Amino acid sequence: MNFNVDPLLNSIDSQLHSLVKNIDIIEAVKPLNYLQEKERFFTNHFSNEPAFIYKENNINPFELKRSLFNLPLEQIQDEDLYTLYLAVIDSYIDKIDQYKSIGTNEFLYDSLRYYGEPSEKDIHNAQFILHIPEKQNDNLGKMYLAPEIIAIMTKMAEQEKYSWQVELDNTMVANALVSGTTVRINSAAKLSKKEAYALAHHELGVHLSTSLNAQKQPLNILSLGCPLNTMTQEGLAILSEYLSGNLTLRRLRILALRVLAVKSLIEDKNFRTTFLLLKETYHVEDELAYTITARVYRGGGYTKDYLYLKGFSLILNAYEHEKNFEHLLIGKTSLSYLPLITRLIEKQQFVEAHFLPPAYKEPVKNDPENTFIIHGIR
């Protein structure tokens, strides 16, 4: 389908993309000394606060904000497009504030302003999951290391005809991360079979496929992402784990523990306190407790991790009840913008998703216990 994009709109879209395409908060809050501080924390018997350091950025917040505010949005004729571009610019203004405060106490408050904090409902959902007895057979069998995880992903990418690049990274907090069409794998990753396949359905099935779908749009804006697309993206990705039959109770417990870790971050503002909460109250093994705690304390206090469980609940409900659900897959969208996205597809400003997650195309039937548990998350 050929699109005749208005030259003014195309100019605004190109300028916006050029201005903010390199804004990547997740990359910016990656501790450069993660492994060293982890070793120091354990060597000192959990007695010290990790002193993470971060890559310097050369962003001039004032100049960048001024350039964004100078974009002539008032000349966009379509009301839906105007609304979308204005909202995306506003969200990037908040992201710029996060950038300038990385590594300081102010970062937590900038993070709270953008991502929010767990509600009572979020805490209740987390505690509901943590009260369910653990399954002893969740992670039995062979453990897969980074090269084997890459092999699983490579097979999926070939089957789905994804264009992608893969890199090993020995400085990561997470097991994997998608940036554009590059998938970075933690060189120290060690996962059970189900966890390895869940990771592939999460990272490639959703994060990579929506990046590729965004590149097929006539406008760049869905590569940048709707405001707070993190919650929708992670909800879609965890739904992909579930529909592929690889979402375990252990995985749900980790998502629940992240919610409580964010709550502790906000209330206690002390790495050791949060770590010991996970270790002593919820009996989390040391390595995992450290990883969860480091995720929420990186940058100075990164609250986004509570959105995984919340996003899953919202996206599951949309999957079961929203007739235009697949429109969420056309790029980095947000659930609250689904009606607007649908209208723009109908007006041929956007195109339908080219790539669909394999688990969405051929979902497996989960066992009744799993189904009961995930529908207990409200």
Residue pLDDT, tens place only, 1-46: 456 678 999 999 999 999 999 999 999 999 999 999 999 999 999 9
Where does residue 307 rank: exposed (0-12), middle (13-18), buried (19+ CB within 10 A)?
A: buried
CA distance 243 to 362: 8
Structural contact between residues 164 and 180, judged by C-beta atoms closer than 8 angstroms: no
For 63, residues 6+ apart whose C-beta sits below 8 A from its C-beta are: none
- Is pLDDT of 159 > 70? yes
Query: pTM (2 decimals)?
Result: 0.95
Residue 203 DSSP code: I
| Helical segments of the chain, H only | 7-20, 25-28, 34-43, 61-69, 79-101, 106-115, 120-130, 146-160, 193-202, 209-215, 221-224, 229-243, 249-268, 271-276, 286-297, 307-321, 338-346, 358-361, 368-375
Residue pLDDT, tens place only, 325-340: 999 999 999 999 999 9
- Is pLDDT of 140 > 80? no
- Is pLDDT of 359 > 80? yes
Residue pLDDT, tens place only, 79-89: 999 999 999 99
Residue pLDDT, tens place only, 40-62: 999 999 999 999 999 988 889 99
- Is pLDDT of 283 > 60? yes
Structural contact between residues 340 and 84, judged by C-beta atoms closer than 8 angstroms: yes
Where along the chain do its domains lie? 7-375
- Is pLDDT of 284 > 90? yes
CA distance 230 to 115: 9
Q: pLDDT category, 171, cuts 50, 70, 90?
A: confident
**Token pair in block for residue 235:** 């909800």
Q: At what angle do helices 307-321 and 120-130 cross, to 10 degrees?
A: 90
Q: What pLDDT shows up at residue 58? A: 85
CA distance 24 to 7: 28
Q: What pLDDT shows up at residue 16? A: 98
CA distance 95 to 90: 9
CA distance 94 to 89: 9
